[in-house]
């Protein structure tokens, strides 16, 4: 390509300190370029680091390693040719619509008349005609995001960045805004050349983007790059469209739920004493959702496909995958390709009564290597400081957020009756037998 | 496009053209200017401590004295505001400055201001020899130190809690520091700043009343004002004049509340961070009236906006890309200057401390020091007794008021005014009653202390009771909770965090109040309680510098220790256990 990309990341990595002071690598060796005239969508689950990529690309965040280029030159400070539309709108409640839009021009030296007419133009362009003097709190969510867009467009950026710009809106409003933005971008009436959008919504990405990139978490790295040549306006029901969506689904599934060879089953009659050889990440999923998934699989045996399940339980795909993964590492389900089946154990689990379910769950949790390590530690001491366990988790699973993993482990452990946390002393302990039998609720 | 489907908004178009409201506002502004000048003139007159003009007890003079007091309050407030904003901004922006500022504020907050009056009065009088301005400055300084730390803390907190996305948006649009401050940070802090200012201003009345009539170095100094008027009236036994002074004081407090703070709060309602429309918007008749005025729109368009653009342009000139070396040098110079300033400050503070320590060593035996500490324990017991008694009395009443919205709307501002009223003006009256009823001041001073500080507990408890979510109340009713069970499971936990705030404020104020409550005069009788407050009051009168320093240091230490070992843990406990979210 002759013209350099409008914005580019070269071997960018980024680490943060978590609230607990642990170093967490969010991005690892990312190469990503937004080219002239393209609409690039970056897909990823929440927490995969996609917002960090957007912030690195625009200069809001300094990467820990690697380089950021803007039109081929190293980026210093904030990219003046880009602007951002935020998920939360980020409007200033004390400014009117017109004043909010004018914020986009504050950095420019221009005459008052020139500024007023530019603001006017942006407001008209984005369909806010009668709302100049209104305050954001008087507007609906969709209208607020329009103000956010007008503010982003008023400075005539060449690159527009959307940070989950539609995810806080209801379905119809979001669809409406997407179409308007697309036609605005395609009309080429403005200086707007490229759009870079970050989203967790697969259909949204395929509907809008000329190129889709999938980001995988822990730490964030690019998985799939998919050109999308479908002509606009795109029909979401067309087989071509569905094929692209299918490819992305499958990639996410195989990367998140790899078909690994099964663990050797424990010999019959012997007490389970061996943990898995692999060190699994713990998906941050409440127990109640795992139980819910089991029930859905049991009640609707015709459901086997991940996407159908996702539709059925009404969560977005990334979340569904996390739940399925949780059930998968507990061996309650099997996931060949993108299908989900109950295992033998899963069937027994569903048939069991409440106490039986708890026992099965405990038995399976006990096999998870990270639980095994922590429970071994708890076997030696009466109580262990939460901080020490968090440190151990951070060592064992360096790419996961140790505090979140810890919270999930405590939640699972509570349900299983294996371990509990005293919130006052911040000590983790193994509950006594009679306490464990008092049925901790699943959620 | 969706214009046709979305509901049309009623957007209030700003009024064009001047009306009678503008005339009234103009007149009011002119009157304000004139009175500021008129009362201000009185601050610059010649002053000789030995030949003071006595306060004239004629009732017709009250407006003049009230004006002088009010002017003092506002000058002090203006300084407090400027200081709070600049220090809060600095602390929020620079990690290095924060390291110094936050602990310093914390300690300064604990120093009993009244104990310092003697030092500041002599200092300022030396600065402006032969002019009343010195005494005025000392009074203003006392009010300033009474309100500024709290405001600076508040501003710092609201600065650091500006939502990240709003800051990021400002960065994306490359706002200059000044633009960011005026369009994002200051508006985002406005509501809490005004609320904090209102509370601090309310606390200021106590200090203004106290600092207008003081005895320093065995000399009585009187500043023309309501506080000195009251003192004079009481010492002459002129009860009619005293009553008028009380009425005038209440009128001043009410006027400040209605004409300044309520309209400001109503105006700042729009800058609350949350985007949802609040349930009960703050309202103020003055604000509604002023909204009809075109004058402010005109001023905004013709004066403020051009000024803002000018500032923005200025900012751009600064922001022009400078050669890297120059930036570096400017940065280094700035840092050097800052280091030099801090070093200079440290040197002086240390030098002062050494001098003070030398003096102390000469003047103060360990025995005396032990005595001061013992008095501190006695005063602490009084402060704690006040807190406990006020809690037992006001928590049930506050809860009763708070669960009846109609009563609460009436009672809460009243409690706030109660907290503002400088009860120290009326202490001599109460002491007169103590004398008549043979109540020992050792116990009576607890009542005196409570008179000024109990209100903080009351209105915080009212606020807490009002904030109990309705669904929790309904759940309690469905579960048949009543009596003790209801209090234990719902009311006390829900009110507790608010009570901690109120009790902490009350206890902080109580230390200051002890200085005026433990040593009180009624006509010719002077009652003196055993306590650190009385001790400080006495050494201040006699002007014994080493003892003043020692006793104030001990009291500050007590306050700091109480904060650390009582209030902080209670705050943390309330936050951990009883947060409603």
Domain shared by A48 and A110, yes or no: yes
Residue B11 sits at the chain A interface (C-beta within 8 Å): yes
Instruction: Supply the CATH number for residue B243's domain.
Output: 1.10.3720.10
A82 contacts on B by Cβ (under 8 Å):
172
The lowest-confidence range among A312-321, A417-426, B35-44, B277-286 is B277-286
Tokens of B265: 């709060």
**C-alpha pair distances (Å), B358 with each of B118, B353, B363, B546:** 20, 8, 9, 9
Residue A138 sits at the chain B interface (C-beta within 8 Å): yes
Domain shared by B93 and B204, yes or no: yes
Q: What is the residue-averaged pLDDT of chain B?
A: 80
A90 contacts on B by Cβ (under 8 Å):
163, 165-166, 168-169
* Residue A404 C-alpha, separation from nearest chain B C-alpha, in angstroms: 19
A271 located within any domain: no
Tell whether the model's pLDDT for residue A69 goes beyond 80: yes
Least CA distance to A104: which residue of chain B? B173
- The rounded percent of chain A whose pLDDT value lies above 90 is 10
> What pLDDT shows up at residue A385?
87
* Residue A311 C-alpha, separation from nearest chain B C-alpha, in angstroms: 29
The lowest-confidence range among A151-160, A192-201, B78-87, B107-116 is B107-116
> What pLDDT shows up at residue B54?
75
Question: Which of A253, A278, A303 delimits the end of a domain?
Answer: A253
Domain shared by B108 and B223, yes or no: yes
B163 contacts on A by Cβ (under 8 Å):
88, 90
Residue B173 sits at the chain A interface (C-beta within 8 Å): yes
**C-alpha pair distances (Å), A362 with each of A372, A383, A415:** 11, 19, 8
Mean local confidence (pLDDT), B467-486 = 79
Render pLDDT for B119-176 as a digit per residue (tens, 0 to 9). 778 788 888 887 888 888 888 998 898 888 888 988 998 888 888 888 999 998 888 8
Q: Is A16 exposed, middle or buried (0-12, 13-18, 19+ CB in 10 A)?
A: middle
B282 located within any domain: no
Q: Mapping DSSP to helix (H, G, I), strand (E, B) and coil, where does residue B17 land?
A: coil
A130 contacts on B by Cβ (under 8 Å):
3, 8-9, 11
Mean local confidence (pLDDT), B15-36 = 77
Question: Which of B331, B359, B387 delimits the end of a domain?
Answer: B359
> What pLDDT shows up at residue A442?
53
Domain shared by A291 and A249, yes or no: no
Tell whether the model's pLDDT for residue B470 goes beyond 60: yes
A270 located within any domain: no
CB–CB of A364/A326 below 8 Å? Answer: no
End-to-end CA distance of chain A: 53
A102 located within any domain: yes
Least CA distance to A172: which residue of chain B? B2
Interface test with chain B among A94, A146, A174, A177, by most B beta carbons within 10 Å: A94
- Quick one: DSSP state of residue B445? H
- Quick one: DSSP state of residue A431? P
Residue A134 sits at the chain B interface (C-beta within 8 Å): yes
Tokens of B456: 């903080």
Tell whether the model's pLDDT for residue A263 goes beyond 60: no
Tell whether the model's pLDDT for residue B12 goes beyond 50: no
Residue B324 sits at the chain A interface (C-beta within 8 Å): no
- Which of residues 84 through 103 in chain A touch B, CB cutoff 8 A? 84, 86-88, 90-95, 103
* Residue A255 C-alpha, separation from nearest chain B C-alpha, in angstroms: 32
Domain shared by A50 and A114, yes or no: yes
Residue B273 sits at the chain A interface (C-beta within 8 Å): yes
Q: What is the residue-averaged pLDDT of chain A?
A: 83
Residue A143 sits at the chain B interface (C-beta within 8 Å): yes
CB contact set of A103 (below 8 Å; sequence gap of 6+) = A92, A95, A151, B169, B170, B173, B175, B183
Tell whether the model's pLDDT for residue B20 goes beyond 80: no
Between residues B53 and A289, which one has the greater pLDDT?
Answer: A289
Tell whether the model's pLDDT for residue B10 goes beyond 70: no
Q: Which of B6, B187, B274 sits opposite A140 (nearest CB)?
A: B6
> How many structural domains compose chain B?
3
The lowest-confidence range among A32-46, A426-440, B124-138, B439-453 is A426-440
* Residue B351 C-alpha, separation from nearest chain A C-alpha, in angstroms: 40
Domain shared by A226 and A348, yes or no: no
Domain shared by B59 and B127, yes or no: yes
Tell whether the model's pLDDT for residue B8 goes beyond 50: no
Domain shared by A218 and A308, yes or no: no
Residue B251 sits at the chain A interface (C-beta within 8 Å): no
Domain shared by B265 and B332, yes or no: no
The b/e string for B221-230 (b: 16+ C-beta within 10 A; e otherwise) is bbbbbbbbbb
Range of the domain at A146: 7-253
Q: Mapping DSSP to helix (H, G, I), strand (E, B) and coil, where does residue B318 land?
A: helix
Render pLDDT for B511-527 as a digit per residue (tens, 0 to 9). 888 888 888 777 677 78
B26 located within any domain: no
Nearest to B555 by CA among B434, B379, B416, B407: B379
Tell whether the model's pLDDT for residue B7 goes beyond 70: no
Q: Mapping DSSP to helix (H, G, I), strand (E, B) and coil, where does residue B429 land?
A: helix
> What pLDDT shows up at residue A265?
52
Q: Mapping DSSP to helix (H, G, I), strand (E, B) and coil, where does residue A357 land?
A: helix
- The rounded percent of chain B whose pLDDT value lies above 90 is 10
Tell whether the model's pLDDT for residue A71 goes beyond 80: yes
Between residues B286 and A174, which one has the greater pLDDT?
Answer: A174
Domain shared by A236 and A146, yes or no: yes
Interface test with chain A among B166, B172, B275, B577, by most A beta carbons within 10 Å: B172
B283 located within any domain: no
Tell whether the model's pLDDT for residue B2 goes beyond 90: no
Residue with tokens 């004002």: B225
Q: What angle do CA B408, B409, B412 make, to 5 degrees?
A: 65
> What pLDDT shows up at residue A194?
92
Domain shared by A33 and A141, yes or no: yes
Domain shared by A341 and A403, yes or no: yes
B107 located within any domain: yes
- The rounded percent of chain B whose pLDDT value lies above 70 is 86
The lowest-confidence range among A165-179, A271-285, A315-329, B155-169 is A271-285
Tell whether the model's pLDDT for residue B22 goes beyond 90: no
Q: Mapping DSSP to helix (H, G, I), strand (E, B) and coil, where does residue A212 land?
A: strand
Render pLDDT for B226-255 as a digit per residue (tens, 0 to 9). 888 888 888 887 888 888 888 999 899 888
Mean local confidence (pLDDT), B545-549 = 79
Q: Which of B9, B165, B184 sits opposite A130 (nearest CB)?
A: B9
A182 located within any domain: yes
Tokens of B560: 């700091």
* Residue B166 C-alpha, separation from nearest chain A C-alpha, in angstroms: 5
The lowest-confidence range among A58-67, A237-246, A267-276, B513-522 is A267-276
Q: What angle do CA B75, B80, B84 make, to 5 degrees?
A: 155
Q: Do B187 and A143 touch (CB under 8 A)?
A: no
Domain shared by B375 and B353, yes or no: no
The sign of the dihedral angle between the CA atoms of A344, A347, A352, A358 is: positive
Instruction: Supply the CATH number for residue A425's domain.
Output: 1.10.10.10
B168 contacts on A by Cβ (under 8 Å):
55, 60, 84, 86, 90
CB–CB of B2/A142 below 8 Å? Answer: yes
Render pLDDT for B272-325 as a digit per residue (tens, 0 to 9). 655 444 445 566 777 777 776 777 777 776 777 677 666 666 555 444 444 444
Residue A168 sits at the chain B interface (C-beta within 8 Å): no
Q: Do B163 and A90 touch (CB under 8 A)?
A: yes
**C-alpha pair distances (Å), B67 with each of A101, B32, B41, B229:** 45, 11, 12, 12
Mean local confidence (pLDDT), A120-129 = 86
Between residues A55 and A437, which one has the greater pLDDT?
Answer: A55
Domain shared by B110 and B259, yes or no: yes
Residue B175 sits at the chain A interface (C-beta within 8 Å): yes
B547 pLDDT band (50/70/90 cuts)? Answer: confident
> What pLDDT shows up at residue B272?
64
Domain shared by B189 and B110, yes or no: yes
Q: Do B179 and A86 touch (CB under 8 A)?
A: no
B579 located within any domain: yes
Cis peptide bond prior to A219, omega within 30° of 0: yes
A2 located within any domain: no
Tokens of A116: 């007023």
Domain shared by A144 and A246, yes or no: yes
Residue B174 sits at the chain A interface (C-beta within 8 Å): yes
Domain shared by B504 and B414, yes or no: yes
Q: Do B174 and A130 touch (CB under 8 A)?
A: no
A151 contacts on B by Cβ (under 8 Å):
169, 173
Tell whether the model's pLDDT for residue A240 goes beyond 80: yes
A58 contacts on B by Cβ (under 8 Å):
172
Q: Do A106 and B3 touch (CB under 8 A)?
A: no
Task: Report the C-alpha gap between B258 and B253 in whole angstroms.
Answer: 9
3-state secondary structure B169-216: HHHHCCCCHHHHHHHHHHHHHHHHHHHHHHHHHHHHHHHHHHHHEEEE
CB–CB of A354/A439 below 8 Å? Answer: yes
The sign of the dihedral angle between the CA atoms of A192, A194, A199, A201 is: positive
Question: Which of B229, B245, B271 delimits the end of a domain?
Answer: B271
B171 contacts on A by Cβ (under 8 Å):
60, 78
Q: Do A88 and B165 touch (CB under 8 A)?
A: yes
CB contact set of A67 (below 8 Å; sequence gap of 6+) = A9, A10, A11, A12, A74
> What pLDDT shows up at residue B319?
45
Residue B172 CB neighbour total at 10 angstroms: 29
Domain shared by A323 and A225, yes or no: no
Provide the CA A92 distance to its chain's centre, in angstroms.
26
Domain shared by A234 and A338, yes or no: no
Residue A196 sits at the chain B interface (C-beta within 8 Å): no
Q: Do B171 and A78 touch (CB under 8 A)?
A: yes
Residue A124 sits at the chain B interface (C-beta within 8 Å): no
> What pLDDT shows up at residue B1?
36
Range of the domain at B565: 364-581
Instruction: Supply the CATH number for residue A228's domain.
Output: 3.40.50.300
Nearest to B533 by CA among B400, B444, B414: B444
> What pLDDT shows up at residue B80?
94
The b/e string for B316-351 (b: 16+ C-beta within 10 A; e otherwise) is eeeeeeeeeeeeeeeeeeeeeeeeeeeeeeeeeeee
> How many structural domains compose chain A?
2
Q: Which of B8, B179, B274 sits opposite A106 (nearest CB)?
A: B179
Look up the pTM and report it: 0.78
Q: Do A90 and B6 touch (CB under 8 A)?
A: no
Least CA distance to B312: which residue of chain A? A106
Q: Do A93 and B14 touch (CB under 8 A)?
A: no
The lowest-confidence range among A171-185, A347-361, B409-423 is B409-423
Domain shared by B253 and B148, yes or no: yes
> What pLDDT shows up at residue B146?
85
Taking each helix axis from N to C end, the angle separating B62-93 and B20-41, rounded to the nearest 10 degrees, works out to 100
Nearest to B397 by CA among B481, B460, B332: B460
> What pLDDT shows up at residue A441?
54
Tokens of B342: 């801090």
Question: Which of B359, B386, B415 delimits the end of a domain?
Answer: B359
A276 pLDDT band (50/70/90 cuts)? Answer: low
Domain shared by B331 and B222, yes or no: no
A217 located within any domain: yes
B309 contacts on A by Cβ (under 8 Å):
112
CB contact set of A49 (below 8 Å; sequence gap of 6+) = A14, A26, A27, A215, A217, A219, A220
- The rounded percent of chain A whose pLDDT value lies above 70 is 92
Residue A133 sits at the chain B interface (C-beta within 8 Å): yes
Domain shared by A291 and A396, yes or no: yes
Domain shared by B404 and B348, yes or no: no
Residue with tokens 């000789």: B48
Domain shared by B418 and B455, yes or no: yes
B288 located within any domain: no
Question: Which of A230, A253, A276 delimits the end of a domain?
Answer: A253
Q: Do A136 and B174 touch (CB under 8 A)?
A: no
Listing DSSP states for A118-169 in one string gives: HHHHHHHHTT-GGGTT--GGGS-HHHHHHHHHHHHHTT--SEEEEESTTTTS
Decide the pairing of beta strands A39-43 and A211-216. parallel
A92 contacts on B by Cβ (under 8 Å):
166, 183-184, 187-188
Render pLDDT for B385-435 as a digit per residue (tens, 0 to 9). 999 999 999 999 999 988 888 888 788 778 878 888 888 888 888 888 888
Nearest to B215 by CA among B477, B526, B566: B526
Tell whether the model's pLDDT for residue B191 goes beyond 90: no
Q: Is the ipTM of this complex over 0.95?
A: no
Q: How many CA atoms lie within 13 A of A386 on its CB side?
A: 19
B190 contacts on A by Cβ (under 8 Å):
94
B369 located within any domain: yes
């Amino acid at each position: 390509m002759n013209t350099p990309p409008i914005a580019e990341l070269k071997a960018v990595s980024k680490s943060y300190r978590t609230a607990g002071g642990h170093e967490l690598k969010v991005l690892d060796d990312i190469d990503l370029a937004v080219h002239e005239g393209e609409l690039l969508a970056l897909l990823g689950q929440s927490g995969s680091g996609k917002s960090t990529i957007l912030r690195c690309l625009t200069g809001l965040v300094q990467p820990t390693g690697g380089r950021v280029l803007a039109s081929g030159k190293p980026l210093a400070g904030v990219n003046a040719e880009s602007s951002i539309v935020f998920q939360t709108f980020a409007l200033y409640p004390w400014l009117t619509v017109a004043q909010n839009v004018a914020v986009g021009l504050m950095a420019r030296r221009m005459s008052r008349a020139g500024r007023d007419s530019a603001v006017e133009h942006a407001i008209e362009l984005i369909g806010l005609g009668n709302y100049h003097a209104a305050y954001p709190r008087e507007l609906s969510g969709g209208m607020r995001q329009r103000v956010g867009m007008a503010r982003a467009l008023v400075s005539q950026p060449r690159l527009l960045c959307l940070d989950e710009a539609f995810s806080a809106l209801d379905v119809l409003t979001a669809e409406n805004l997407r179409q308007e933005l697309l036609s605005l971008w395609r009309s080429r009436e403005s200086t707007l050349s490229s759009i870079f959008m970050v989203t967790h919504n697969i259909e949204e990405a395929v509907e809008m983007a000329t190129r889709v990139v999938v980001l995988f978490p822990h730490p964030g790295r690019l998985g799939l790059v998919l050109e999308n040549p479908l002509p606009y306006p795109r029909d979401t029901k067309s087989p071509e469209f569905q094929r692209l969506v299918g490819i992305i689904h499958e990639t996410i599934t195989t990367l998140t739920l790899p078909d690994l060879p099964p663990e050797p089953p424990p010999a019959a009659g012997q007490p389970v004493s061996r943990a898995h050889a692999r060190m699994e990440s713990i998906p941050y999923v409440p127990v109640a959702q795992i139980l819910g998934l089991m029930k859905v699989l049991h009640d609707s045996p015709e459901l086997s496909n991940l996407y159908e399940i996702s539709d059925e339980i009404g969560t977005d795909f990334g979340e569904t995958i996390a739940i399925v993964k949780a059930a998968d590492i507990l061996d309650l389900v099997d996931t060949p390709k993108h299908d989900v089946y109950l295992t033998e154990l899963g069937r027994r689990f569903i048939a069991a009564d409440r106490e039986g379910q708890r026992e099965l769950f405990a038995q399976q949790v006990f096999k998870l290597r990270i639980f095994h390590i922590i429970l071994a530690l708890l076997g030696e001491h009466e109580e262990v400081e939460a901080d020490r366990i968090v440190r151990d988790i951070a060592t064992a699973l360096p790419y996961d957020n140790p505090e979140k993993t810890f919270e999930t482990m405590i939640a699972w452990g509570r349900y299983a009756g294996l371990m509990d946390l005293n919130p006052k002393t911040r000590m983790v302990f193994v509950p006594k037998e009679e306490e464990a039998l008092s049925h901790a609720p699943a959620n | 496009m969706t214009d046709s489907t979305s509901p049309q908004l009623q957007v209030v178009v700003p009024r064009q053209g001047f009306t009678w409201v503008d005339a009234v506002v103009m007149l009011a502004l002119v009157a304000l200017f004139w009175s500021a000048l008129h009362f201000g003139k009185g601050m610059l007159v010649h002053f000789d401590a030995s030949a003071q003009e006595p306060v004239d007890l004629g009732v017709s003079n009250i407006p003049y004295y009230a004006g002088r007091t009010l002017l003092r309050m506002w000058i002090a407030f203006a300084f407090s505001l400027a200081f709070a904003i600049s220090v809060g901004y600095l602390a929020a922006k620079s990690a290095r400055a924060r390291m110094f500022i936050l602990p310093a504020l914390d300690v300064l907050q604990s120093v009993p201001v009244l104990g310092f009056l003697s030092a500041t009065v002599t200092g300022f009088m030396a600065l402006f020899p032969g002019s009343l301005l010195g005494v005025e400055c000392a009074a203003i300084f006392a009010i300033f130190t009474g309100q500024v730390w709290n405001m600076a803390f508040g501003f710092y907190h609201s600065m650091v809690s500006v939502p990240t996305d709003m800051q990021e948006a400002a960065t994306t649009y490359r706002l200059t520091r000044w633009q960011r401050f005026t369009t994002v940070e200051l508006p985002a802090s406005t509501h809490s700043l005004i609320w904090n200012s209102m509370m601090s201003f309310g606390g200021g009345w106590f200090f203004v009343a106290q600092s207008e009539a003081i005895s320093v170095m065995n000399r009585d100094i009187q500043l023309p004002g309501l506080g000195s008027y009251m003192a004079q009236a009481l010492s002459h036994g002129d009860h009619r004049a005293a009553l008028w002074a009380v009425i005038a004081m209440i009128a001043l407090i009410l006027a400040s509340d209605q004409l300044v703070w309520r309209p400001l709060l109503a105006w700042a309602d729009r800058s609350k961070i949350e985007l949802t429309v609040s349930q009960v918007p703050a309202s103020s008749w003055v604000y509604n009236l002023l909204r009809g005025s075109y004058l402010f729109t005109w001023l905004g368009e013709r004066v403020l906006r051009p000024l803002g653009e000018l500032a923005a342009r200025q900012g751009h000139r600064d922001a022009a890309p400078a050669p890297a070396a120059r930036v570096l040098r400017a940065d280094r110079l700035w840092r050097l200057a800052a280091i030099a300033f801090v070093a200079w400050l440290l040197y002086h503070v240390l030098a002062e401390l050494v001098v003070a320590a030398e003096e102390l060593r000469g003047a103060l035996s360990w025995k005396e020091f032990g005595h001061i500490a013992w008095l501190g324990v006695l005063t602490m017991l009084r402060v704690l007794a006040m807190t406990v008694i006020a809690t037992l009395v006001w928590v049930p009443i506050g809860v009763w008021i708070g669960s009846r919205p109609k009563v609460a709307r009436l009672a809460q501002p009243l409690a706030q005014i109660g907290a503002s009223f400088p009860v120290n003006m009326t202490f001599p009256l109460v002491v007169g009653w103590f004398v008549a009823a043979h109540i020992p001041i050792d116990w009576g001073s607890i009542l005196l202390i409570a008179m000024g500080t109990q209100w903080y507990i009351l209105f915080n408890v009212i606020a807490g009771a009002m904030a109990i979510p309705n669904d929790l109340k309904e759940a309690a009713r469905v579960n048949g909770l009543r009596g003790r069970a209801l209090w234990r499971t719902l009311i006390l936990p829900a009110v507790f965090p608010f009570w901690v705030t109120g009790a902490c404020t009350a206890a902080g104020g109580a230390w200051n109040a002890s200085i005026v409550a433990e040593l009180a005069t009624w006509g010719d009788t002077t009652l003196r309680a055993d306590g650190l407050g009385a001790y400080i009051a006495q050494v201040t009168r006699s002007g014994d510098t080493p003892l003043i320093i020692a006793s104030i240091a001990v009291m500050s230490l007590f306050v700091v220790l109480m904060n650390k070992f009582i209030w902080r843990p209670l705050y943390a406990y309330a936050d951990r256990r009883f947060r409603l979210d």
